[in-house]
Amino acid sequence: METKVSYTIVGIFVLILGIALIAGVIWLGAGMQYRKSYSDYLVYMNESVAGLNLNAPVRYKGVEVGRVKDISIAQTRQESVRLLLEIEKGIVIRENTVATLRSQGLTGLATIELSGGGEKSPVLKAKDGEKYPVIRSAPSLMSRLDTSITPILANLNVSIERLNETLNAKNRADLSKILSGLSKLSDTLARRSGDIDAGLKSASKMLSNGEEASQSLPELVARIGKAADALDKMAKDASKSSMAARNAIEGVDATIPDLKALMGQLRDLSSSLTRLTDEIERNPSVLVYGKPAAKLGPGE
């Protein structure tokens, strides 16, 4: 009987010791978490926070730095959801830090993701009359997609309605005629493929000739340039000849008065010679004795 009692006592003692050991390990593990110091911050979300639960992690650039302490509807602005966050002290939250709701894969669970916080931005502090600093929020990816896709879907719906209105019975008949005409055109082109090939070859030959002509074009341009230079030289020579002729004409104009005086003198000389000849013919002795003295008139 005493042996059985001692085994029972030993078993109970071992069981209690094991429980105490497990409890100690749990307490030590949890104690590290509880020994951390936290600061409280507020975030106001203007979108649904479905999937976000209490104690959901708060991450800064992917690293867990806190948890969601409270979720409620804001009293001062009921269109927003009020989130109270516990963030480890030592994590600097700045005025340009932004909180965003982020879903975790296909589970639908959500977390709070913090981003921003450049060093040039001041440290975020509570404003006068407020208990906690307020972190700015930004729309989540799903909210941005919903905002972008909604007008796109509305425009798509309008486009479909307009397309249905456009494709009425008359327009469908006209479209059928157009398709029939295109079919006939394709058949005609298929039958005239040989002629089309010949035309393409002729066009290719014309392009080849044009290429040869374009290659000889620089030489032709050079020849035209030389001819233009020759014409320019001829024009310059003609200009010089014209200038010389103008100078000659001006010289002739300058000598005309002298020529007129000389012609007058020559006429006087011719008259004198004529009178002398007549005198010699009447009286040849003039050549020996000279011209006789003139007879005196009455009273001289």
Task: Compute the distance between CA of residue 196 and CA of residue 68 in angstroms, rounded to an integer.
Answer: 77
| Position 128 pLDDT exceeds 50 | yes
Tokens of residue 130, six digits: 């407020």
Domain of residue 61 covers 37-139
- Do both 80 and 114 map to the same domain? yes
- Do both 163 and 124 map to the same domain? no
With respect to residue 100, please indicate whether it lies within any of the assigned structural domains: yes
**How confident is the model over 242-261, as pLDDT tens digits?**
676 566 556 555 666 665 66
With respect to residue 242, please indicate whether it lies within any of the assigned structural domains: yes
Return the SS3 of 89. coil
- Do both 64 and 126 map to the same domain? yes
pLDDT at 248: 59
- Higher pLDDT: 158 or 235? It is 158
Across 61-75, 101-115, 222-236, least confident range:
222-236
With respect to residue 47, please indicate whether it lies within any of the assigned structural domains: yes
Contact 52, 68 (CB under 8 A): yes
Q: Is the pTM of this model over 0.75?
A: no
- Do both 82 and 122 map to the same domain? yes
- Do both 168 and 181 map to the same domain? no
pLDDT at 57: 92
Query: Which of 246, 261, 293 corresponds to the end of one domain?
Result: 246
- Do both 52 and 90 map to the same domain? yes
Radius of gyration of the chain (CA): 63
- Do both 207 and 156 map to the same domain? no
| Position 26 pLDDT exceeds 60 | yes
With respect to residue 276, please indicate whether it lies within any of the assigned structural domains: no
With respect to residue 275, please indicate whether it lies within any of the assigned structural domains: no
Across 110-114, 171-175, 236-240, 285-289, least confident range:
285-289
With respect to residue 3, please indicate whether it lies within any of the assigned structural domains: no
- Do both 134 and 157 map to the same domain? no
- Do both 53 and 126 map to the same domain? yes
Number of domains in the chain: 3
Tokens of residue 276, six digits: 């002398």
Query: Which of 86, 121, 139 corresponds to the end of one domain?
Result: 139
Helix (H) or strand (E) holding 137: strand 134-138
With respect to residue 154, please indicate whether it lies within any of the assigned structural domains: yes
- Do both 70 and 162 map to the same domain? no
Return the SS3 of 114. strand
Helix (H) or strand (E) holding 67: strand 63-73
Across-strand partners of 87? 39, 66
Tokens of residue 87, six digits: 């963030």
Q: Which residue has the tokens 């977390």?
A: 111
**Max Cα distance, the chain (Å):** 227
- Do both 200 and 228 map to the same domain? yes
With respect to residue 240, please indicate whether it lies within any of the assigned structural domains: yes
Query: Which of 139, 157, 184 corresponds to the end of one domain?
Result: 139
- Do both 85 and 152 map to the same domain? no
